Amino acid sequence: MAKTWFITGTSTGLGRILAERLLERGDRVVATLRQPAALDELRAQHGDRLHVLSLDVTDVEAIRIAVADAFERMGRIDVVVSNAAYGLFGAAEELSDAQLERQIATNLTGSIQLIRAVLPYLREQGGGRIVQVSSEGGQIAYPNFSLYHATKWGIEGFVESVAQEVAPFGIDFVIVEPGPTLTHFRQGLDHAQPMACYDNTPAGEVRRAVSSGTFVLKGDAVKTVDAMIDAADAERPPLRLTLGSTAYASIGKALAERLGSLEAQKDIAFAADRDN
Protein backbone atom coordinates (compact mmCIF):
# COMPACT_ATOMS: atom_id res chain seq x y z
CA MET A 1 0.00 0.00 0.00
CA ALA A 2 1.33 3.44 -0.93
CA LYS A 3 2.47 5.67 1.91
CA THR A 4 2.64 9.41 2.39
CA TRP A 5 5.92 10.97 3.54
CA PHE A 6 6.99 14.40 4.79
CA ILE A 7 10.71 15.04 4.24
CA THR A 8 12.86 18.07 5.08
CA GLY A 9 16.09 18.94 3.28
CA THR A 10 15.29 17.48 -0.14
CA SER A 11 17.42 19.69 -2.40
CA THR A 12 20.41 17.31 -2.49
CA GLY A 13 21.95 14.31 -0.79
CA LEU A 14 19.99 11.70 1.13
CA GLY A 15 16.82 13.80 1.21
CA ARG A 16 16.71 14.21 -2.57
CA ILE A 17 17.47 10.54 -3.21
CA LEU A 18 14.83 9.51 -0.67
CA ALA A 19 12.17 11.60 -2.39
CA GLU A 20 13.13 10.16 -5.77
CA ARG A 21 13.06 6.53 -4.60
CA LEU A 22 9.70 6.93 -2.87
CA LEU A 23 8.09 8.60 -5.86
CA GLU A 24 9.44 5.89 -8.15
CA ARG A 25 7.67 3.23 -6.12
CA GLY A 26 4.35 5.12 -6.15
CA ASP A 27 4.30 6.83 -2.74
CA ARG A 28 3.23 10.42 -2.09
CA VAL A 29 5.82 12.90 -0.84
CA VAL A 30 5.69 16.32 0.76
CA ALA A 31 9.19 17.64 0.09
CA THR A 32 10.50 20.74 1.83
CA LEU A 33 13.58 22.77 1.00
CA ARG A 34 14.69 26.39 0.91
CA GLN A 35 14.70 26.66 -2.91
CA PRO A 36 11.61 24.84 -4.26
CA ALA A 37 12.65 25.32 -7.90
CA ALA A 38 15.31 22.65 -7.34
CA LEU A 39 12.53 20.04 -7.52
CA ASP A 40 10.79 21.35 -10.66
CA GLU A 41 11.93 18.34 -12.70
CA LEU A 42 10.61 15.87 -10.14
CA ARG A 43 7.34 17.78 -9.89
CA ALA A 44 6.91 17.58 -13.67
CA GLN A 45 7.49 13.83 -13.60
CA HIS A 46 5.24 12.91 -10.69
CA GLY A 47 2.46 15.49 -10.67
CA ASP A 48 0.28 15.71 -7.59
CA ARG A 49 2.06 12.83 -5.82
CA LEU A 50 4.78 15.38 -5.03
CA HIS A 51 3.89 18.47 -3.02
CA VAL A 52 6.79 20.91 -2.64
CA LEU A 53 6.98 23.45 0.16
CA SER A 54 9.49 26.21 0.78
CA LEU A 55 10.91 25.80 4.28
CA ASP A 56 13.90 27.03 6.24
CA VAL A 57 13.92 24.90 9.39
CA THR A 58 15.47 27.73 11.40
CA ASP A 59 12.08 29.51 11.12
CA VAL A 60 9.91 27.90 13.79
CA GLU A 61 6.64 29.49 12.67
CA ALA A 62 7.34 28.42 9.08
CA ILE A 63 7.76 24.82 10.31
CA ARG A 64 4.33 24.92 11.94
CA ILE A 65 2.72 26.40 8.83
CA ALA A 66 4.35 23.83 6.54
CA VAL A 67 3.29 20.93 8.76
CA ALA A 68 -0.30 22.19 8.94
CA ASP A 69 -0.37 22.64 5.15
CA ALA A 70 0.98 19.13 4.59
CA PHE A 71 -1.51 17.36 6.83
CA GLU A 72 -4.42 19.40 5.49
CA ARG A 73 -3.47 18.64 1.89
CA MET A 74 -2.55 14.98 2.31
CA GLY A 75 -5.05 13.99 4.99
CA ARG A 76 -2.65 11.51 6.57
CA ILE A 77 1.14 11.35 6.72
CA ASP A 78 2.62 7.98 7.55
CA VAL A 79 6.31 8.86 7.87
CA VAL A 80 7.98 12.15 8.81
CA VAL A 81 11.67 12.37 7.93
CA SER A 82 13.69 15.04 9.73
CA ASN A 83 16.68 15.29 7.42
CA ALA A 84 17.62 18.97 7.00
CA ALA A 85 21.12 19.53 8.37
CA TYR A 86 24.66 20.48 7.39
CA GLY A 87 28.17 20.25 8.79
CA LEU A 88 30.11 23.00 10.55
CA PHE A 89 33.84 22.41 10.17
CA GLY A 90 36.43 23.90 12.47
CA ALA A 91 37.99 23.65 15.90
CA ALA A 92 35.66 25.00 18.60
CA GLU A 93 37.85 28.05 19.20
CA GLU A 94 37.84 28.90 15.49
CA LEU A 95 34.05 29.08 15.10
CA SER A 96 32.24 32.41 15.08
CA ASP A 97 29.22 33.01 17.28
CA ALA A 98 27.04 33.30 14.17
CA GLN A 99 28.25 29.94 12.84
CA LEU A 100 27.58 28.30 16.20
CA GLU A 101 24.06 29.72 16.44
CA ARG A 102 23.13 28.76 12.87
CA GLN A 103 24.40 25.20 13.33
CA ILE A 104 22.30 24.68 16.46
CA ALA A 105 19.26 26.41 14.94
CA THR A 106 19.35 24.17 11.86
CA ASN A 107 20.47 20.76 13.07
CA LEU A 108 19.14 20.70 16.62
CA THR A 109 16.42 23.28 17.23
CA GLY A 110 14.99 22.82 13.74
CA SER A 111 14.70 19.06 14.21
CA ILE A 112 13.21 19.45 17.68
CA GLN A 113 10.62 21.95 16.48
CA LEU A 114 9.66 19.80 13.50
CA ILE A 115 9.06 16.82 15.77
CA ARG A 116 7.06 18.95 18.21
CA ALA A 117 4.98 20.32 15.32
CA VAL A 118 4.02 16.92 13.88
CA LEU A 119 3.20 15.14 17.15
CA PRO A 120 -0.36 16.52 17.58
CA TYR A 121 -1.27 15.47 14.03
CA LEU A 122 0.22 12.00 14.44
CA ARG A 123 -1.63 11.54 17.74
CA GLU A 124 -4.88 12.66 16.13
CA GLN A 125 -4.54 10.21 13.25
CA GLY A 126 -3.72 7.33 15.59
CA GLY A 127 0.02 7.01 15.09
CA GLY A 128 2.87 7.33 12.66
CA ARG A 129 6.63 7.06 12.36
CA ILE A 130 9.31 9.72 12.63
CA VAL A 131 12.71 9.08 11.04
CA GLN A 132 15.42 11.34 12.44
CA VAL A 133 18.53 11.44 10.28
CA SER A 134 21.49 11.67 12.62
CA SER A 135 24.99 10.32 11.94
CA GLU A 136 27.63 8.07 13.38
CA GLY A 137 28.53 11.49 14.79
CA GLY A 138 25.61 11.13 17.20
CA GLN A 139 27.55 8.38 18.99
CA ILE A 140 31.21 9.27 18.35
CA ALA A 141 33.25 12.41 17.76
CA TYR A 142 35.92 13.57 15.30
CA PRO A 143 38.12 16.62 15.94
CA ASN A 144 36.99 19.71 14.00
CA PHE A 145 33.29 18.79 14.12
CA SER A 146 32.51 19.71 17.74
CA LEU A 147 29.36 21.75 17.06
CA TYR A 148 28.07 19.26 14.51
CA HIS A 149 28.50 16.50 17.10
CA ALA A 150 26.80 18.63 19.74
CA THR A 151 23.71 18.84 17.55
CA LYS A 152 23.69 15.14 16.65
CA TRP A 153 24.28 13.91 20.20
CA GLY A 154 21.63 16.39 21.31
CA ILE A 155 18.94 15.30 18.87
CA GLU A 156 19.54 11.64 19.68
CA GLY A 157 18.96 12.30 23.38
CA PHE A 158 15.83 14.28 22.59
CA VAL A 159 14.42 11.53 20.38
CA GLU A 160 15.18 8.77 22.86
CA SER A 161 13.19 10.63 25.51
CA VAL A 162 10.28 11.64 23.26
CA ALA A 163 10.00 8.10 21.88
CA GLN A 164 9.09 6.92 25.38
CA GLU A 165 6.58 9.76 25.82
CA VAL A 166 4.61 9.09 22.64
CA ALA A 167 4.80 5.30 22.28
CA PRO A 168 1.33 4.93 23.88
CA PHE A 169 -0.10 6.95 20.97
CA GLY A 170 1.28 4.58 18.32
CA ILE A 171 4.10 6.96 17.35
CA ASP A 172 7.58 5.53 17.02
CA PHE A 173 11.02 6.68 15.90
CA VAL A 174 14.01 5.54 13.90
CA ILE A 175 17.33 7.35 14.41
CA VAL A 176 19.45 6.85 11.29
CA GLU A 177 23.21 6.86 11.88
CA PRO A 178 25.10 6.73 8.56
CA GLY A 179 28.87 6.72 8.47
CA PRO A 180 30.86 8.90 6.03
CA THR A 181 28.82 8.67 2.82
CA LEU A 182 29.41 10.00 -0.67
CA THR A 183 26.84 12.81 -0.86
CA HIS A 184 27.05 16.61 -1.11
CA PHE A 185 27.82 16.83 2.63
CA ARG A 186 31.45 17.86 2.10
CA GLN A 187 30.52 20.51 -0.47
CA GLY A 188 27.98 21.93 1.96
CA LEU A 189 30.38 22.28 4.89
CA ASP A 190 30.51 25.66 6.58
CA HIS A 191 34.21 26.27 7.26
CA ALA A 192 35.55 28.28 10.17
CA GLN A 193 38.51 30.61 9.70
CA PRO A 194 41.48 28.34 10.52
CA MET A 195 43.99 29.30 13.22
CA ALA A 196 47.63 28.35 12.62
CA CYS A 197 48.02 27.06 16.18
CA TYR A 198 45.81 24.07 15.27
CA ASP A 199 47.85 23.03 12.22
CA ASN A 200 49.82 20.34 14.08
CA THR A 201 46.94 19.00 16.17
CA PRO A 202 44.26 16.35 15.56
CA ALA A 203 42.01 19.17 14.29
CA GLY A 204 44.63 20.08 11.69
CA GLU A 205 45.00 16.44 10.64
CA VAL A 206 41.27 16.11 10.00
CA ARG A 207 41.26 19.45 8.16
CA ARG A 208 43.98 18.23 5.79
CA ALA A 209 42.27 14.87 5.28
CA VAL A 210 39.00 16.53 4.29
CA SER A 211 40.62 19.14 2.02
CA SER A 212 42.82 16.56 0.26
CA GLY A 213 40.02 14.04 -0.21
CA THR A 214 41.81 11.34 1.81
CA PHE A 215 39.00 11.27 4.41
CA VAL A 216 37.47 7.95 3.34
CA LEU A 217 33.79 7.92 2.35
CA LYS A 218 32.77 4.26 2.20
CA GLY A 219 29.03 4.79 2.38
CA ASP A 220 26.84 4.51 -0.73
CA ALA A 221 24.05 7.11 -0.70
CA VAL A 222 21.47 5.04 -2.61
CA LYS A 223 22.08 1.92 -0.49
CA THR A 224 21.81 4.08 2.61
CA VAL A 225 18.47 5.49 1.49
CA ASP A 226 17.15 2.02 0.59
CA ALA A 227 18.03 0.82 4.09
CA MET A 228 16.22 3.83 5.55
CA ILE A 229 13.11 3.00 3.53
CA ASP A 230 13.23 -0.65 4.59
CA ALA A 231 13.43 0.41 8.23
CA ALA A 232 10.57 2.88 7.85
CA ASP A 233 8.47 0.12 6.26
CA ALA A 234 9.29 -2.47 8.94
CA GLU A 235 6.70 -3.36 11.55
CA ARG A 236 9.23 -3.07 14.39
CA PRO A 237 12.36 -1.20 13.31
CA PRO A 238 15.28 -0.55 15.66
CA LEU A 239 15.38 2.77 17.49
CA ARG A 240 18.88 3.28 16.07
CA LEU A 241 19.81 2.21 12.54
CA THR A 242 23.58 2.17 11.97
CA LEU A 243 24.54 2.24 8.28
CA GLY A 244 27.93 1.58 6.76
CA SER A 245 30.94 -0.44 7.88
CA THR A 246 32.75 2.68 9.11
CA ALA A 247 29.83 3.64 11.35
CA TYR A 248 29.45 0.08 12.63
CA ALA A 249 33.13 -0.16 13.56
CA SER A 250 33.51 3.32 15.02
CA ILE A 251 30.32 3.21 17.08
CA GLY A 252 31.11 -0.30 18.31
CA LYS A 253 34.58 0.77 19.40
CA ALA A 254 33.25 3.88 21.18
CA LEU A 255 30.54 1.95 23.01
CA ALA A 256 32.98 -0.75 24.13
CA GLU A 257 35.38 1.88 25.45
CA ARG A 258 32.61 3.69 27.33
CA LEU A 259 31.31 0.48 28.82
CA GLY A 260 34.82 -0.51 29.92
CA SER A 261 35.33 2.88 31.52
CA LEU A 262 31.97 2.61 33.30
CA GLU A 263 32.69 -0.86 34.65
CA ALA A 264 36.08 0.30 35.98
CA GLN A 265 34.30 2.97 38.02
CA LYS A 266 31.70 0.69 39.63
CA ASP A 267 33.09 0.91 43.16
CA ILE A 268 33.44 4.70 42.90
CA ALA A 269 29.90 5.02 41.59
CA PHE A 270 28.35 2.88 44.35
CA ALA A 271 30.36 4.70 47.02
CA ALA A 272 28.53 7.92 46.12
CA ASP A 273 25.18 6.50 47.30
CA ARG A 274 23.59 7.82 50.48
CA ASP A 275 24.19 5.71 53.59
CA ASN A 276 21.01 3.99 54.78
Known catalytic residue at 148: yes
Q: Which residue has the higher pLDDT, 72 or 212?
A: 72
11: domain CATH number is 3.40.50.720
The answer to whether residues 90 and 192 touch, using CB atoms and an 8 Å cutoff, is yes
Is 116 part of a structural domain of the chain? yes
Is 25 part of a structural domain of the chain? yes
The answer to whether residues 207 and 194 touch, using CB atoms and an 8 Å cutoff, is yes
Distance, CA of 14 to CA of 17 (rounded, Å): 5
Which one of 3, 135, 152, 250 is the catalytic residue?
152
The answer to whether residues 104 and 216 touch, using CB atoms and an 8 Å cutoff, is no
Torsion of CA 97, 36, 80, 49, to 10 degrees: 180
Instruction: Inform me whether the pLDDT recorded for 187 exceeds 90.
Output: no
Which one of 11, 82, 111, 134 is the catalytic residue?
134
Distance, CA of 113 to CA of 127 (rounded, Å): 18
Mean pLDDT of the chain: 94
pLDDT-derived band at 179, boundaries 50, 70, 90: confident
pLDDT-derived band at 212, boundaries 50, 70, 90: confident
Q: Following DSSP, what letter does each residue of 63-76 receive, concatenated? A: HHHHHHHHHHHHS-
Is 28 part of a structural domain of the chain? yes
Residues 6+ apart with CB under 8 A from 17: 221, 222, 225
Between 154-163, 176-185, 194-203, 232-241, the lowest mean confidence (pLDDT) is in 176-185
Global pTM value: 0.94
Known catalytic residue at 198: no
Which one of 86, 121, 148, 198 is the catalytic residue?
148
Mean pLDDT of 218-238: 93
Is 55 part of a structural domain of the chain? yes
Query: What pLDDT shows up at residue 218?
Result: 78
Distance, CA of 204 to CA of 187 (rounded, Å): 19
Q: Following DSSP, what letter does each residue of 36-71 receive, concatenated? A: GGGGHHHHHHHGGGEEEEE--TT-HHHHHHHHHHHH
Instruction: Inform me whether the pLDDT recorded for 260 exceeds 90.
Output: yes
Task: Please give the residue range of the domain that contains residue 152.
Answer: 4-244
Give the count of domains, the chain: 1
The answer to whether residues 245 and 227 touch, using CB atoms and an 8 Å cutoff, is no
Mean pLDDT of 161-178: 98
Instruction: Inform me whether the pLDDT recorded for 54 exceeds 70.
Output: yes
Q: Exposed/middle/buried for 136, CB within 10 Å: 0-12, 13-18, 19+? A: buried
Instruction: Inform me whether the pLDDT recorded for 216 exceeds 90.
Output: no
Is 239 part of a structural domain of the chain? yes
Instruction: Inform me whether the pLDDT recorded for 185 exceeds 70.
Output: no
Give 98-106 contacts, CB < 8 A, sequence gap 24+: 99/147, 99/190, 99/192, 100/147, 102/58, 102/190, 103/147, 103/148, 103/151, 103/190, 104/147, 104/150, 104/151, 105/58, 106/57, 106/58, 106/151
Is 33 part of a structural domain of the chain? yes
> Which among 131, 130, 126, 121 has a CA at the least distance from the CA of 169?
126
Is 65 part of a structural domain of the chain? yes
Is 250 part of a structural domain of the chain? no
Residue type, position 22, single letter? L
pLDDT digits (tens, 9 = 90+) for 103-139: 999 999 999 999 999 999 999 999 999 999 999 999 9
Instruction: Inform me whether the pLDDT recorded for 184 exceeds 90.
Output: no
pLDDT-derived band at 159, boundaries 50, 70, 90: very high
Query: What pLDDT shows up at residue 189?
Result: 81
Query: What pLDDT shows up at residue 3?
Result: 96
Instruction: Inform me whether the pLDDT recorded for 178 exceeds 90.
Output: yes
